[in-house]
Amino acid sequence: MSAQHPVLIVGAGPAGLVAALTLLRNGVQVRIIDKELAHRVGQRGSGMTPRSLELFRFLEVPEVEETGKPPFPMRVYKPGTLTPLKTFPLTPHMDPTPAFPYYNPTMIGQQTLEAILRSHLESLSCYVEVATELRSFEQDEERVLAILAHKNDGMQFTETVECSWIIGADGAKGVTRKLLNLSFVGETRDEVVFISGDIKLSSNSIGREYWHNFSSGTKSLTLRPSNEIGPDGFQFYMIGSGISNLISDHQAFFDYIQSITTATDIEFREVIWVSEFRPNVRMVDKFGIGRVFIAGDAAHVHSPTGGQGMNSSIQDALNLCWKLSLVIKSRASSSLLTTYTTERVPVIAEMLQLTTQILNKTVAPTTSTAQDTLQRNQRMHMLGVNYRLSPIVVDELTPHPEDVDSYGPILASGLVAGDRAPDAPFLKAYVEETSGVVARPGRLRLFDLFRAWYHTVLLFTTDVAWAASIARSITLDPSLVRKVVILPSSAPGGSEAYISDFDFILHDDEGHAFKGYHVGTEDCKVFVIRPDGFVGAVVVGREGLCRYFDGIF
């Protein structure tokens, strides 16, 4: 039996890789395996939502933002022709605001995202073990015993691994959910066939500045240029019935593209990967049992229309792993882990409804316009996803809601516990250095402070002495909680005397923080920001703060 690892992560797709990185950033060692013999290629989930961009910032993965490209405008052609009918943006462009620095989705192929995440794991001495498949496991109150099968040069051998926890991020067909016997309720749309993949082709008629959408009768084809595949690379989706044969017959596949686009000058170069699937709309009612959890497609499957799957996988992983790391470090009770299910189930149920609505429009295009079907509305940016119903959030100013829209409107009028924590730029920071208290050069934004491995307490006030007394009452390990006081520009001087009570003293000279958090400049309010970037608590003082932290630690 091989040595014990605290966490075994099964599957190195987006969910598994983000889970691994979150745990490692929290100081928890992991082992991550994937049954594939080599890392997968393919653009797959290439639409990154603004919320995911924020979360990658909290995980310190700047390459996602740096590498991603804005989506090309969608160009819809008159059916059966190469005549453009309409050109429109995938989502109407919105300028960033102080509270929402990312308002637009970005495109980054899943293979590129996965490579970026693997490089971060490697910088933390964690390497994805390919050709290693979870076969089965048994768990008791103390541990999990997993049987892994390794493939090596045509040889196969098994290994028994003892670990404390398993995260099954093994995709829709994964074995973890099945071994847990979790129900996977929903439907399979056998009548709808999707074929998708990456292809290389060249054609003067199919330029590289649009996301092309061709149709003919009930069949459709989209071609999205992607230089990640190559200068002649496209990600494609085909939807229709009676197209299953195309996956194995490349000539029929090329003929299909030629006939639906009507382009006569296409030179087909290479099919990089291709897969066929029927949309499944299913989810579990529990995201784990005992010491074994599932995340990502292992827990919920849906149509790729709307581009929410990978993004939801990232949020699952982050939600689970900040909690799991506290439990592993004996800082929190394992009962905290039940909130992974409580918080994610309503969000995923809503996501399934949204993506199914888009699927229905996609397969019945006559009932809606192409723009109506293809254009993503702002709910899909996931900036309104919230945990207002969560039993661990504390709000002293707003009564606990009976019911909420878990995908929420982006521009909610107020900010309550469970909501996404807003950003705020242009904060002047005072820090303590050996030479004394100094104003840091440049300006900070709140998103520079939020990280996936600690809570951040934001104390809004004009009265720094009040904030300092509250900060002193937080006796938790400083590595787990950062304390930040935010003062309005009108605040009297002298706050530097309290510098040692805080990690940062911030002056909100331009008022973005007070405005974004809906705090009057004369008011005192305390917000606790969780490691996953959600507001855990909105309270007015020490008592509320204790109530929140007692529910976590």
Ligand X SMILES: Cc1cc2nc3c(=O)[nH]c(=O)nc-3n(C[C@H](O)[C@H](O)[C@H](O)COP(=O)(O)OP(=O)(O)OC[C@H]3O[C@@H](n4cnc5c(N)ncnc54)[C@H](O)[C@@H]3O)c2cc1C
Q: Which residues of this protein are in contact with ligand X, per CB under 6 A?
A: 10-16, 33-36, 40, 44-47, 110, 133-134, 169-171, 174-175, 196, 296-298, 304, 307-311, 313
Q: Tokens in use for 418? A: 């469970």
Question: Least separation, in Å, of the C-beta of 231 and ligand X?
Answer: 21
Least Å from the CB of residue 256 to ligand X: 17
The separation between CA 344 and the C-alpha centre of its own chain, rounded to angstroms, equals 12
Report how far apart, in Å, the C-alpha atoms of 299 and of each of 315, 377, 504, 550 are.
12, 24, 39, 29
Indicate the residue among 17 and 99 with the shorter CB distance to ligand X. 17
Whole-angstrom distance between the N-terminal and C-terminal Cα of the chain? 33
- Decide whether 309 or 365 has the Cβ nearer to ligand X: 309
CA distance 349 to 331: 31
Q: How far is the CB of 292 from ligand X (least distance, A)?
A: 13
Pick 146 or 459: Cβ nearer ligand X:
146
CB atoms within 10 A of CB 372: 12
- For 7, the token pair is 């966490």
Q: Which is nearer to ligand X, 20 or 416 (CB)?
A: 20
Q: In DSSP terms, which residues pair with 155 in a beta bridge?
A: 152
Looking only at the bridges linking them, the beta strands covering 300-301 and 280-283 are antiparallel
**Between residues 308 and 356, which has the closer beta carbon with respect to ligand X?**
308
CB 247 within 8 A of CB 274: yes
Give the shortest CB-282-to-ligand X separation in angstroms. 13
Q: Identity (one letter) of the amino acid at 457?
A: V
Q: What is the smallest separation between the CB atom of 422 and ligand X, expressed in angstroms?
A: 23
CB of 253 to ligand X, least distance (A): 15
Q: Which residues pair with 136 in a beta bridge?
A: 147
Residue with smaller CB distance to ligand X, 189 or 542 = 189
Taking the complex as a whole, how short is the minimal distance between the CB of residue 409 and ligand X, in angstroms?
20
Where do we find the tokens 């090309």? 72
- Least distance to ligand X, CB of residue 58, Å: 18
Among residues 355, 338, 354, which one has the least CA distance to residue 285?
338
Torsion over CA of 29, 33, 39 and 40, rounded to 10 degrees?
-120
Nearest of 301, 320, 321, 323 to residue 310 by alpha carbon: 301
Q: How far is the CB of 501 from ligand X (least distance, A)?
A: 42
Q: How far is the CB of 14 from ligand X (least distance, A)?
A: 4
Contact 425, 443 (CB under 8 A): yes
Query: What's the token pair of residue 540?
Result: 């007015």
Looking at the Cβ atoms of 139 and 461, the one nearer to ligand X is 139
16 near 34, Cβ under 8 Å? yes
Integer CA distances (angstroms), 41 to 36, 84, 343, 390, in order: 11, 32, 32, 37
CB of 177 to ligand X, least distance (A): 10
Question: Are 189 and 281 spatial neighbours (Cβ–Cβ below 8 Å)?
Answer: yes
Strands (E), 386-433: 394-395, 428-433
Q: Smallest distance, Å, CB 134 to ligand X? A: 4
**DSSP sequence for 234-254:** EEEEEEESS-GGGGT-HHHHH
Comparison of 54 and 508: residue with beta carbon closer to ligand X: 54
CB of 280 to ligand X, least distance (A): 11
The residue type of 399 is P
Which CB atom, from 12 or from 528, has the smaller least distance to ligand X?
A: 12
Residue with tokens 């581009």: 307
Residue pair 324/25 in contact by the 8 Å Cβ criterion: no
Cβ neighbourhood burial of 458 (10 Å; 0-12, 13-18, 19+): buried
215 vs 461, beta carbon nearer ligand X: 215
Nearer to ligand X, 281 or 446 (CB): 281
Is the CB of 47 or the CB of 233 nearer to ligand X? 47
Q: Which of 15/468 has CB closer to ligand X? A: 15
Quick check: 237 and 197 in contact, CB under 8 A? no
Choose between 134 and 481: whose C-beta lies nearer to ligand X: 134
Q: Smallest gap, in angstroms, from Cβ of residue 294 to ligand X?
A: 9
CA dihedral 115, 317, 387, 68 (to 10 degrees): 0
> In this structure, are residues 267 and 202 in contact, taking their beta carbons and an 8 Å threshold?
yes
